[in-house]
Amino acid sequence: MFTEKVMKLLNEQITKEFYSAYLYLDFANYYEEQGLKGFANWFTVQAQEERDHALLFIKYMQNNEIKVTFESIGKPDVVMKEHMDALRGSLTHEQYITASIHTIYEAAYEAKDFRTMQFLDWFVKEQAEEETNSTDNIKKMELFGTDSKGLYMLDQELGTRMYNPPTLVL
């Protein structure tokens, strides 16, 4: 039922999701060092989400007896010199992950792998939300980030984000 191509892409996505978590922890660390604990919190929560996305892919594959293989996770590659760098890096990365999910979906569609397509439907919606959140953070920083009071308020807002595990049924 599962083609080699789909199985390979699913395995690659696990690595991409774990890399996402690693990248967002790097962003959180940057903001923590800058004294922006709200931004650090937002990216720490984001890292938790990404880790759980990887675990969802793993569980889906295990439930369908697809061999899971783990690859090396690369070092985060976004250079952060100013507060906007991580925010822009987040959007660029989410667009990359969206394209990757779409590639898997396309391969599943070509293979008439409806089970994988149904599994990916949640991720397609999730990626739309991820890109919107990243875009919103950039817009807010552009509007308020150059004013110290505005930056403080934005940092406070981002500090209220709490982790909500995904509720995807496998």
Q: How confident is the model at residue 168 (pLDDT cuts 50, 70, 90)?
A: low
Number of domains, the chain: 1
State the burial class of residue 3 (Cβ atoms within 10 Å of its Cβ: 0-12, 13-18, 19+): middle
Residues 119-154: pLDDT tens digits? 999 999 999 999 999 999 999 999 998 899 999 999
Residues 12-60: pLDDT tens digits? 999 999 999 999 999 999 999 999 999 999 999 999 999 999 999 999 9
Domain that holds residue 31: 4-158
Do residues 137 and 26 lie in contact, with contact meaning Cβ atoms separated by under 8 Å? no
CATH of the domain at 143: 1.20.1260.10
pLDDT for residue 170 is more than 80: no
| pTM of the full structure | 0.94
pLDDT given for residue 1 in this prediction:
75
27 in any annotated domain: yes
The average confidence (pLDDT) of the chain is 95
168 in any annotated domain: no
Q: How confident is the model at residue 76 (pLDDT cuts 50, 70, 90)?
A: very high
167 in any annotated domain: no
127 in any annotated domain: yes
